[in-house]
Structure formats: C-alpha cells, structure tokens
Structure 1
Amino acid sequence: MDAITLPQLALFVATLGLAIVSPGPAIIAASQSAASRGRRASMPYAMGLAVGASLWCLFALFGLTVLFRWMPSLFVALKILGGIYLLWIAFQMWRHAADPLDMAGETVSGPGFARGVALNLSNPKPALFYSAVIMSVFPSLHGAAPAVVYGVALAVELGFYAAVTALMSTGPVRRRYYGAKTWIDRIAGALIGALGLSLILRH
C-alpha cells in the first residue's frame, strides 16, 4: 500500500474519467440504450460496459500488454475481430433505427450485462491505455497495490457508466430522443461503424 498515494489515485481517476467520456463505441451505445429504453432496462448493459472496460485494466496489470508486444499479430487479430463486432452492432442500430418505441415508459429488457461486457472487450486499445497510465502514474506496484488500482478503476467505470445511463434516461432527454429517434440511431450506428472500421484498418 505504501506504493500508492492519494495524489496518484486522484490523477488516475481524473485521467480515467476523461477517457471514459471521450467519444467511443461504449459511451455511444450506453447513451443510445438509455435514451431509447430507459434506466431500468439499460443499467445492466451499462454495468456490463463498465466491467468489460475494467477487465482491460486487470489484463494490463497482469501483463497482457507485454504479450501484445511479444506477439503483435495477436493484437492485430483482436482488433480485427473487435472491429467486426462493432460493425455488427452498428448494422443492428441502423437496421432498427426506424422501429417504433413504446412512448408510455421504460421497456422491460435491454441488451443485457453480457452484451455490455462483450462490446467493451471488442476493442483491445484500452489495454494499452491502461498500461501507459498505470506505468506513468504508478511506477512501482507491489503487494496489494495492483488490487487497489483495479478496485479504483472498476469503481470509476461503474460510476461513470451509471451516471451516463441515469442522465440519458431522464424525461427531457428521452422526449428529445423520441422526436428524432431514426436519425439519432443512424448517426450512433454510423459512428460506431466508423470506429469499427478504424479498428480494423489502423494496424
């Protein structure tokens, strides 16, 4: 524990928070699901997204990025598979963009926890991000320190995705979403599709 200080944790949380809210497939998917389905149906999906993202931190702590350096072809393969999955998500969003919604309230079910985990595991780039941040902020980790870092990362991911879902499922946001659902879903699908293509093409 003596390897970790409060200023280090504060810097880690701030850096991670800025990365989470930057435009990416997970935050787009979480926002679209919350606006279309409501908080109750979308929160399991959001928690899955958070856990999926935090797993990259765990993998970084246990040396996955070292494996990527030794076997760059593995990283490329994961990026291509992840990009294909994101393209599938984008296609589904575009395909169902014009589907009507129940205006009476929240839907009962959404994509679910496992779909959230899968979406955030489809992009291996966060492993490199976590590795770089951890090495920069915590130059020396030993003992229980890695568990503390992972616990903080998980808490931040859960908190941010829960907050985004709660915000995007509010009445005013949902009413604006209903008014432009087709175009919002198509734009969200196009953005996720573009990110998927970028993941495949940028080796």
Structure 2
Amino acid sequence: MAAITLPALGLFVTTLGVAILSPGPAIIAASRSAAARGRQASMPYAMGLAIGASFWCLFALFGLTVLFRVLPQSYTVLRFLGGAYLLWIAIQMWRHAADPLAMEGESVAGPGFRQGLALNLSNPKPALFYAGVIMTIFPALSTAGAAVIYLVALSVEVCFYAAVTVLMATGPMRRGYRAAKTAIDRIAGTLIGALGLTLILRH
C-alpha cells in the first residue's frame, strides 16, 4: 500500500474545504441557523451537519459506492428520499419565514444535533464525491490509512462548520439577518428546495 504523504493530504483537505463551502443545503442551513439563533444554540446543529457529512466519507471508504454500482436502484432510492426531505425542509422555511424572532439573546428553539445529522445524511451525493476524490488522491489505502483519511475528513468538516457558525453568529451578521429575515428565509428555502428537486430528478 502506498504511504499517505503530506502533499496528498494537503490536496485532500483543500479539495474538501472548497466542496464544503460551495452552495449546498447544509452550508445554507448552518449559516441561517447561526444568524437566527446565535453561536451557542446553533453549534450542536453544526456538529450534526459535520458528522453527518463525514459519515459519507466513511461509507465511501468502506464500500457504499460499490453497492451503488452493483445496485443502482439503491442510489436512486436514497436520492429520492433525501430530495423529499430537503423539499420538506424548504417548505418549513417558507411557512415560517415571517415568524418573529425571539427578543434579545440567543434563541434555543430550532434544529439540533440530530436534525443536522439527518440533513447531511439526506443527500447521498457526497459519497460519490468522497469516493472520486479518495480514489484519485489515495488509490491504494490500507485499513489504517482509511482510518487516517476519515479522521482528517471529520476534522475538516467539524472545523469548517464550526467556523461558519461562529462567523454567521457575529453581531453584524445577526443584525443583517433580523432586518431581512423573511426574504433571507424564503431565498434559503428556495435554494434548498431547488437542490432537493435536482437530487430527485438528476439521473
């Protein structure tokens, strides 16, 4: 088995970081939650999103993508269920877009760790992304090497989602969100709904 080199790890971390920050349902949800509820209330949600995303790396490392190739119907079912869940989240955002926020201080109402985990597990596309990146950068991995790659992916996911939560929970971001809550929630709901619909319809 080929050794894991620092340049290869650097490329993996960079590629993963760019992918995390690209517009997607999880990053939209994490940003909105932090702006609406503050850092303390939103951090468990962010950690659920991070760990849910990292599970797709684990699944890719240990064969889920092989199942997708052998039984394409399994991927189709996961896409449909995940897309339906994203559409449900989008509808809830639209329904509650005009709801008032709590008064001063951080609101504790809203999604937590389990909801974050469920959101990132609703989209199986990261499994294919992880599989493609890992196969390209690390074509031959031992079990120990796979464990190292998973721990690196988990660390990157946790750090990025935590950073987004801290940034979006700053005073200026929260004030901006409060001033335009209805429009922001409806835009976020539309984007998440479009991503869910794309997940269902894309072959």
Instruction: Give the TM-score taking structure 1 as reference length.
Output: 0.98
Q: Determine the C-alpha separation between the residues in 1 that align with 2:86 and 2:24.
A: 11
Aligned to 2:187: 187
**Counterpart contact for 1:47–1:161, Cα < 8 Å:** yes
Q: Which amino acid aligns with 1:168?
A: M
Equivalent runs, 1:108-147 vs 2, <5 Å: 108-147=108-147
Q: Determine the C-alpha separation between the residues in 1 that align with 2:150 and 2:91.
A: 33
Please report how far the alpha carbon of residue 143 of structure 1 lies from its aligned counterpart in structure 2 after TM superposition. 3.7
Equivalent runs, 1:1-203 vs 2, <5 Å: 3-203=3-203
Provide, for residues 104-142 of structure 1, a one-character-per-residue CA deviation record: whole Å limited to 9, x for no partner.
Answer: 121124301010010000000000000000000101101
Unaligned runs of 5+ in 1: none
Residues 88 and 143 of structure 1: is their aligned pair in 2 closer, same or farther, counting only changes over 3 Å? closer
**Counterpart contact for 1:42–1:109, Cα < 8 Å:** no
Q: Determine the C-alpha separation between the residues in 2 that align with 1:124 and 1:171.
A: 35
Unaligned runs of 5+ in 2: none
**Counterpart contact for 2:94–2:185, Cα < 8 Å:** yes
| Aligned residue pair count | 203
Q: Which amino acid aligns with 2:149?
A: V
Please report how far the alpha carbon of residue 201 of structure 1 lies from its aligned counterpart in structure 2 after TM superposition. 0.7
SS of 1:131's equivalent?
helix
Q: Which amino acid aligns with 1:21?
A: L
Q: Determine the C-alpha separation between the residues in 1 that align with 2:13 and 2:63.
A: 21
Q: Which amino acid aligns with 1:195?
A: L
Q: Which amino acid aligns with 2:120?
A: N
Please report how far the alpha carbon of residue 2 of structure 1 lies from its aligned counterpart in structure 2 after TM superposition. 6.0
Q: Which amino acid aligns with 1:58?
A: L
Q: Determine the C-alpha separation between the residues in 2 that align with 1:110 and 1:8.
A: 39
**Counterpart contact for 2:57–2:130, Cα < 8 Å:** yes
The list of structure 1 runs, each at least 4 consecutive aligned residues, that deviate by more than 3 angstroms after superposition, is none
Q: Which amino acid aligns with 2:198?
A: S
Q: Which amino acid aligns with 1:124?
A: P
**Counterpart contact for 2:48–2:116, Cα < 8 Å:** yes
Once superposed, what is the RMSD of the aligned Cα atoms?
A: 1.0
Q: Determine the C-alpha separation between the residues in 2 that align with 1:143 and 1:79.
A: 29
**Counterpart contact for 1:33–1:42, Cα < 8 Å:** yes
Q: Determine the C-alpha separation between the residues in 1 that align with 2:135 and 2:103.
A: 48
Please report how far the alpha carbon of residue 3 of structure 1 lies from its aligned counterpart in structure 2 after TM superposition. 1.6
